[in-house]
Amino acid sequence: MAEKVSGSKKTTDRPRLMLLDGHSLAYRAFYALPVENFNTVTGQPTNAVYGFTSMLANTLRDEAPTHLAVAFDVSRKTWRSEEFPEYKATRSKTPDEFGSQLALIGELLDAMVVPRFAVEGFEADDVIATLATQAEALGYEVLIVTGDRDSFQLVSEHVTVLYPTKGVSELTRYTPAKVEERYGLTPRQYPDFAALRGDPSDNLPGIPGVGEKTAAKWITQFGSFEELCERVDEVKGKAGDNLRAHLDAVKLNRRLTEMVRDVALPARAEQLGREPYDREALGQVLDALEFRNPNFRERLFAADPGAAAEEAEIAEGVAVEGTVLSAGELPGWLEARGAGPVGLASVDTWALGSGSVTQVALADAEDAAWFDPTQLDEADEKAFAAWLADPERAKVVHHAKNAMRVFAEHGWRLSGVSMDTALAAYLIKPGRRSFALDVLSVEYLGRELAPAAADSGQLAFGEEDDGEAAAAAALMVQARTVLDLGDVFGQRLPEVGAAELLHDVELPTSALLAKMERAGIAADRAHLEGLEEQFAGAVRHAVEEAHASVGHEFNLGSPKQLQEVLFGELGLPRTKKTKTGYTTDADALAWLAAQTDHELPVIMLRHREQAKLRVTVEGLVKTIAPEGRIHTTFSQIVAATGRLSSTDPNLQNVPVRTDEGRAIRRGFVVGEGYESLLTADYSQIELRVMAHLSEDDGLIAAFTSGEDLHTTVGSHVFSVQRDEVDAEMRRKIKAMSYGLAYGLSAFGLSQQLGIEAAEARALMETYFERFGGVRDYLRRAVEEARGTGYTETLLGRRRYLPDLTSDNRQRREMAERMALNAPIQGSAADIVKIAMLRVDEALVEQGLRSRMLLQVHDEIVLEVAPGEREQVEELVRHEMSHAYPLRAPLDVSVGVGTDWESAAH
């Protein structure tokens, strides 16, 4: 989130105390960022936390305070509400989605070692006023970041208010001059003015007929509120009569508006000096909140006051004895290495299914070498190709899949990878913020990813080759760093039970994914371009329909204009209130469509759906390589559960169950020289894993009966015959069964099904009565994870959950839901990888030309060579169904066709 601060910023040598109104800023962040876009996998909203933290990081960067604190309200019961019971009484109930985030913000501040204050009986304003007064008396500069205008009374030569004027991304600097420019009054006069004006948000009544201009005029005329009260009879006209009639009320306003400057606090301003972050704790909080955006994390960690000290302790780089190899020297260098592990690094390019390697560096514990592949002679290239392909010559690589993919462009096959440092770092700490080599070097080796200063003279180049010498030195350092990290991770992996998982599953999977990425999948460009135009036409038609439905043009992409049309002109039922009006998100539009007969909500839903489809197809068309195939990039290190993801393009964005989605899938076709596409996936694999782990006899029997699972389970839960289970019963059972596998709460289930939480809770209780083994397993899973600190899949993939013992209820419940879903989702992901490896191995062993192309949403897509269909289908069914021996046997569905959609099953 970018941040802009308007107004001039003073520079000073004084200590600088920054005080934040935590509740005010978090509330603004909540309404500035759509809650539906910021949720963890377990359903915990995080938009307020993200917005608040982003604002804090930017402000720390821009203002560089030496002292820092955050103040929060405790409750609405304060000395003000005691004196005036109606104080803030008209404020609506705090949204549940917001309230649950305040404690998370507190946990995050604790990890940042930021003092936070909340004093019973007082508001955050009073705490801020007290600390600001103390700091100013000590000669500090004070910055107050708040969305409460009452804080303007604190502004002085050395106290500035940074007031959010656009969400939390734009702050206006209020100095004495700015306050006077805005209101025509001094900061000292501001509370007098506010008392006369009143404040609807605090339920402080104003004077009928008296607005800001009149209030400011009176204070200017009489000099102060006190003087105005003394000479109230001098005020003429109707406004004067109203003032006299409401004089007691505005006097009360004046007392309530004045901030308390002497609240008893556990620490004074001079004790609020900034402290280094608890970086490990902060990383855990960010991981739990699933804030993985590297730019966001970089901004936050860059503001750590301990960063400079930590950087001083990090070695500047590593000294590497290196050789720039000339033609004919590579075979001897490789021969001298023996079978010991060698770090491998390269500079390469890869785009749309083509690429090349421009530099290669190799390093063992004693020596390093660099060469330009274009300068290799025939003997060099033969020796290098043989060394790369030799499974007995150990190589340590960072992101080995990428190297395998691009090395093949030169006819080189990379085998014998004993360690992939990116995959190892992922298995040791899944969900970490970065797997970049420089980050891992600092964290695990305590040194920067750069040559030591003394290295500059170790390479024999002339002056004209300084640029190439620097590039060679840097790449050889990368190769040595990869090697050294491999040693560290080789010791760490057994400690977390992941050594076999790396060597038996993840490394072979990376090699298979490299082949799949190189192969790509054929695309029907004409079909996809036709769809793009179709969706663009549907968007235009929806715009025309929307305009016709209300009788005039408006911008469908403008929430403000849409609100005016829906709730102003049309008078439709109002949806959930937000800071900027009433929400018009997809859920709100769907609700309006069900509540009213007007066609606009339905048109808007169709417009948004078609616009999204057009963008999806446009992205696919752009990624078609010159040879007519789409080459997505798979990643093994994004999802903490072990699931694969894809990017450029993201094939998981292609809808599956809609007519439009099926039309898009028809654009993925069988390629030249092949006969058909074959798709295969598991039926209800997460639920089968849950049945296996829980050992629930009833659920296992439901799977082994061969009947429809959800109907069979529904008959047990609702105590009816199978033929009496209707579609609504089946829908509820399906949602709940998958919900349990994903750690869904009763509240989450109620939201998903559109029923009351009490009904969802009763449904879950009935389910557990019938399937007690599932209930016992879910309880056992959480308790075991709380005892060990981690969950584990069937293959030993761990997910560490330190928040299981947190004192913070929200974070603890989030971790509990992760403890439920991680073993199930992770085991399913592991089984799919094993199945992929078995299928690929069988294809190779049987000498078949058919090949695997994609893995999306647990579905495997293969391209079948002529005459191999029956053999491939039998092979796929056998290998996938026997990938892992579950108590609820794996069931595989297979389909064949000339395109992805016709191959569906």
How deeply is 479 buried, as exposed, middle or buried, from its count of CB atoms within 10 A (0-12, 13-18, 19+)? buried
Class of domain 526-627: mainly alpha
3-state secondary structure of 173: strand
pLDDT score for 44: 82
Q: Could you give the dihedral angle defined by the CA atoms of residues 844, 848, 850 and 856, in that order, rounded to the nearest 10 degrees?
A: -30
* DSSP-assigned states of every residue in 717-738: HTT--GGG--HHHHHHHHHHHH
DSSP-derived letter for residue 154 is G
Q: Which of 54, 288, 291, 86 is nearest to 200 (CA)?
A: 86
Task: Kindly list the domain boundaries of the chain, sorted by start residue.
Answer: 4-182+260-271, 322-520, 526-627, 697-770
pLDDT score for 5: 45
3-state secondary structure of 220: helix
- Ranges of the chain whose pLDDT falls below 50: 1-8, 10-11, 89, 312, 454-464
What is the enclosing helix (H) or strand (E) of 581?
A: strand 581-582
Amino acid symbol at 770: R
Are the C-beta atoms of 822 and 431 separated by less than 8 Å?
Answer: no
Instruction: Evaluate whether the domain defined by 4-182+260-271 bears CATH number 3.10.20.310.
Output: no
Q: Per-residue pLDDT tens for 678-687?
A: 999 999 999 9
Biggest CA pair distance of the chain: 106
User: CA–CA separation, 303 vs 286, rounded Å?
Assistant: 15
pLDDT score for 8: 46
CA distances from 884 to 484, 856, 878, 881 (A): 35, 20, 11, 8
pLDDT score for 188: 82
Q: Which of 136, 142, 170 is nearest to 51 (CA)?
A: 170
For tokens 């913070």, what's the residue?
A: 808
Phi then psi for residue 781, to 5 deg, are -60, -45
Going by their DSSP bridges, the two strands 141-145 and 159-166 should be labelled as parallel
pLDDT score for 168: 59
Q: Which of 485, 506, 779, 544 is nearest to 636 (CA)?
A: 506
How deeply is 819 buried, as exposed, middle or buried, from its count of CB atoms within 10 A (0-12, 13-18, 19+)? buried
pLDDT score for 352: 64
Q: Per-residue pLDDT tens for 797-835?
A: 998 887 887 767 777 888 888 888 889 999 999 999 999
Instruction: Evaluate whether the domain defined by 322-520 bears CATH number 3.40.50.300.
Output: no
* DSSP-assigned states of every residue in 91-132: SPPPPHHHHHHHHHHHHHHHHTT--EE--TBS-HHHHHHHHH
> How remote is the C-alpha of 476 from its chain's centroid?
34
Going by their DSSP bridges, the two strands 645-647 and 633-635 should be labelled as antiparallel
